[in-house]
Structure 1
Amino acid sequence: MATISQKPKLITIFGGTGFIGRHLVQALTKRGYRVRVACRNPNLAIHLLPLGNVGQVYAVQANLRNRASIDRAVAGSDHVINLVGILHESGRQSFNVLQNFGARAVAEAARAAGARLTHGSAIGADPNSPSDYARTKALGEQAVLETIKDAVIVRPSIVFGPEDKFFNRFANMARFSPFIPLIGGGETKFQPVYVGDVAEVFARSVDGDLEGGKIYELGGPEVLTFRQCMEQMLDVTCRKRWLVSVPWAIARLQGRILGLLPNPLLTLDQVKLLEKDNVVSEEAAREKRTLQGLGIAGHSLAAILPMYLWRFRPAGQFTRKQVQ
Structure 2
Amino acid sequence: MTTDPISGKIVTILGGSGFVGRHLAQELLARGARLRIASRHPKKAFVIKPLGNLGQVQFAGVDVTKSDSLAAVLAGSDAVVNLVGAFSGNLDALQGKGVGEVAAAARAAGATAFVHVSAIGADASSDVAYARTKAEGEQAVLAAFPEATIVRPSLMFGPDDNLVNMFANLIARMPAMPVFAPQAKLQPVFVDDVAEAIANALSDASAQGKTFELAGPEVVTMLELNERIANAQGRSRAFAELPDAVSGLIASATGWLPGAPITSDQFKLLQAGSVAGGALPGIADLGVTPRPLGLFLDRWMVRFRKHGRFGAKTASA
Calculate the TM-score normalised by the size of structure 1.
0.91
Counterpart of 2:132 in structure 1 is 135
| Aligned pairs (5 A) from 1:26-45 | 26-45=26-45
Closer, same or farther: CA 101–79 of 1 in aligned 2, 3 Å: same
Following TM superposition, the consecutive aligned residue runs of length 4 or more in structure 1 with deviations greater than 6 angstroms are: none
Counterpart of 1:147 in structure 2 is 144
Q: Which amino acid aligns with 2:10?
A: L
1:208 aligns with 2:204: yes
SS at 1:100 equivalent: coil
1:322 aligns with 2:314: yes
**8 Å CA contact retained: 1:223, 1:279:** yes
2:301 corresponds, among 291, 294, 309, to 309
1:300 aligns with 2:292: yes
| Distance in structure 1 (CA, Å) of the matches to 2:54 and 2:253 | 48
| Distance in structure 2 (CA, Å) of the matches to 1:7 and 1:244 | 51
Closer, same or farther: CA 120–264 of 1 in aligned 2, 3 Å: farther
| Aligned pairs (5 A) from 1:47-62 | 47-62=47-62
Closer, same or farther: CA 274–53 of 1 in aligned 2, 3 Å: same
SS at 1:24 equivalent: helix
| Structure 2: unaligned runs, 5 residues or longer | 1-5
Cα displacement (A) at 1:263: 4.7
Counterpart of 1:166 in structure 2 is 163
| Distance in structure 2 (CA, Å) of the matches to 1:110 and 1:94 | 21
SS at 1:150 equivalent: coil
Counterpart of 1:278 in structure 2 is 274
Cα displacement (A) at 1:175: 1.9
Give me the CA root mean square deviation.
1.9
Residue deviations 1:214-252 (CA, integer Å, cap 9, x gap): 110011111111111111111111111111111222222
Cα displacement (A) at 1:17: 0.9
Counterpart of 1:3 in structure 2 is none
Counterpart of 1:267 in structure 2 is 263
> How many residue pairs align between the two structures?
310
| Structure 1: unaligned runs, 5 residues or longer | 1-5
SS at 2:207 equivalent: coil
| Distance in structure 1 (CA, Å) of the matches to 2:259 and 2:93 | 19
| Distance in structure 2 (CA, Å) of the matches to 1:323 and 1:175 | 13
Cα displacement (A) at 1:7: 8.5
Q: Which amino acid aligns with 1:126?
A: D
Closer, same or farther: CA 181–163 of 1 in aligned 2, 3 Å: same
**8 Å CA contact retained: 1:16, 1:37:** yes
**8 Å CA contact retained: 1:183, 1:245:** yes
User: Percent of aligned positions with the same letter in both sequences?
Assistant: 42
2:224 corresponds, among 220, 223, 228, to 228
**8 Å CA contact retained: 2:188, 2:218:** yes
| Distance in structure 2 (CA, Å) of the matches to 1:282 and 1:315 | 43
**8 Å CA contact retained: 2:98, 2:140:** no
| Distance in structure 2 (CA, Å) of the matches to 1:8 and 1:160 | 29
